[in-house]
Amino acid sequence: MKSNEIIEKIIKERRNVRAFKNKTIPKKVISKIIEMGIWAPNHRMTEPWKFIIIQKNSEKRLSISKKIEKYIKENSSNNNSKTVQKIADKARAEFESCPVIMYVCSSAGKNEEETLENYSSTSIAIQNMALYSWAVGVGIGWSTGKPIKVKGLKKILEVPDSSIIAGCLYMGYIENKSVIIKKSRTNHLKKTIWK
Ligand SMILES: Cc1cc2nc3c(=O)[nH]c(=O)nc-3n(C[C@H](O)[C@H](O)[C@H](O)COP(=O)(O)O)c2cc1C
């Protein structure tokens, strides 16, 4: 396969994944994935990213997962408390059992423009990681939901209040690529304007 064909294949095949094998990802592999992230373009070379790995069975993993449960209970619009508890238990179990949880934070710039540029670069870093990960059988589930909305998260992650948490990444070896929900995209020509 030519390199352009390999790139196209990985870009199109990559999916957001949250179903993982119960298998540890070696530190060396995680480290390589992060190394791919930092090759993202970044204006003024601000290199605005920070990768925080919350190890399985760690105090921090447990502490955040409890906060996820609390967040769901406090914010659910469902008034059946048993159903809400079930949803909270499921979210907590998923967070606790996930092989790797990685938070990706983006630092604030010296003004609004730079902060936005930083956030763009950090998002590209996540995509770089997702593409490389896919190629080595590791899936990434990018979340900007409950795991980043819990109270006091920046304190737990030890990042400045001014930083933006670009995502909580659920990571693990992909259970089965063939059962991952296929997703399509609107034809790019419909999103393109030639003037
Ligand atoms: C910034 C961002 C935030 C996301 N947050 C969530 C999320 O909170 N929960 C979720 O299930 N998926 C989340 N996703 C994944 C998207 O739902 C997913 O990328 C989309 O459905 C397209 O699927 P694909 O990535 O498999 O092509 C997020 C993706 C991005 C880029």
> Is there an atom of ligand 1 within 6 Å of 143 CB?
yes
Domain residue ranges in the chain: 14-56+99-179
CA of 131 to the centre of ligand 1 (A): 14
Quote the pLDDT of residue 118.
98
Q: Is 24 near ligand 1, meaning CB less than 6 Å away?
A: no
Query: What is the C-alpha separation between 165 and 159, in angstroms, rounded?
Result: 9
CA distances from 15 to 98, 125, 178, 183 (A): 17, 16, 11, 8
How far apart are the CA of 116 and the centre of ligand 1, in A? 20
| Ligand 1 centroid from CA 35, angstroms | 22
Q: How far is Cα 117 from Cα 108, in angstroms, rounded to an integer? A: 9
**pLDDT tens digits for the chain (195 residues)?**
999 999 999 999 999 999 999 999 999 999 999 999 999 999 999 999 999 999 999 999 999 999 999 999 999 999 899 999 999 999 999 999 999 999 999 999 999 999 999 999 999 999 999 999 999 999 999 999 999 999 999 999 999 999 999 999 999 999 988 888 889 999 999 999 999
Q: Which of 174, 155, 143 is nearest to 21 (CA)?
A: 174
16 C-beta closer than 6 A to ligand 1? yes
pTM score:
0.97
User: Is 98 in contact with 172 (CB distance < 8 Å)?
Assistant: yes
Q: What's the 166 CA to ligand 1 centre distance in angstroms?
A: 12
CATH number belonging to the domain at 14-56+99-179, selected among 3.60.21.10, 3.40.109.10, 3.40.50.2300, 3.20.20.150: 3.40.109.10
Task: Print the SS3 string covering the chain.
Answer: CCHHHHHHHHHHHCCECCCECCCCCCHHHHHHHHHHHCCCCCHHHCCCEEEEEECCCCHHHHHHHHHHHHHHHHHCCCCCHHHHHHHHHHHHHHHHHCCEEEEEEECCCCCHHHHHHHHHHHHHHHHHHHHHHHHCCEEEEEECCHHHHCCCHHHHHCCCCCCEEEEEEEEEEECCHHHCCCCCCCCHHHHCCCC
Task: Please work out whether the CB of residue 11 comes within 6 Å of at least one atom of ligand 1.
Answer: no
Give the position of tokens 């990685």: 102
Give the number of the atom of ligand 1 that is nearest the alpha carbon of residue 126: 31
50 vs 33: CA distance, rounded Å: 13
Closest ligand 1 atom, residue 183 Cα: 27
12 lines ligand 1 (CB under 6 A): no
